[in-house]
Amino acid sequence: MDRFFVVTGGPGSGKSTLLAALAEQGLPHMPEAGRAVIRDEVAAGGTALPWSDRDAFAARMLAHDLRSYEDAQTKDGVLFFDRGIPDIIGYRTLCGLGIPSNLSRAAESNRYNHHVFIAPPWAEIYAQDTERKQDWDEAVATHDVMARVYQDLGYHLVPLPLDTPERRSAFVRRWIAEH
């Protein structure tokens, strides 16, 4: 879907902040699966968490992202995704988990715009929180794996500038208008 744009990268690189700025400008987004699954699992006392059961966590993220992709098809206009289905491949790769065939099929059949915005690691804004427990080295490794996964799936990366949310959102809007 040419109107579906993914914003990916490592944790703590300003993706969600950028998407919030774009939403304030009338450009909606589909929320990140990982944080939603963590909140749901913690609230329910579940174990499909990255620190408890990574395989179950990845499966729950895929189910969430497939629903998000289906929901997005009912919406009009440009729509952003806070990570996409290929991010789950990246997550499983980082965890040393195999890539199940249903995940590979989902990544191939649920396509986004062939240009993907990627937020580079940014030490000055990186911070851990109750849902983001990765350290800096893991954040950098995540960026690198996501870049490789998206490229392997035929996407072209558009690096985001290390700049304020307002300037980043202006960059994204300008880039989309020009392409």
For the domain that residue 103 is a member of, what is the CATH number? 3.40.50.300
Domain contains 55: no
Judge contact between 159 and 116, C-beta under 8 A.
no
Q: Is residue 82 part of a domain?
A: yes
pTM score, whole prediction: 0.93
- Residue 128, pLDDT > 70, answer no
According to the model, what pLDDT value does residue 133 have?
A: 62
**Domain, as residue range, for 106:** 4-33+69-178
**Residue 112 lies inside a defined structural domain of this protein:** yes
At 112-126, the pLDDT tens digits run: 999 999 999 988 877
Assess if residue 58 is contained within a domain. Answer: no
Q: What is the pLDDT of residues 87-98, one digit of tens each?
A: 999 999 999 999
Q: Per the structure, how many domains does the chain have?
A: 1
Residue 43 lies in a domain: no
Rounded to 10 degrees, the C-alpha dihedral 154/147/5/106 comes to 60
Strand, coil or helix: 141: helix
Residue type, 45: G
Q: What is the DSSP letter of 3?
A: T
Domain contains 39: no
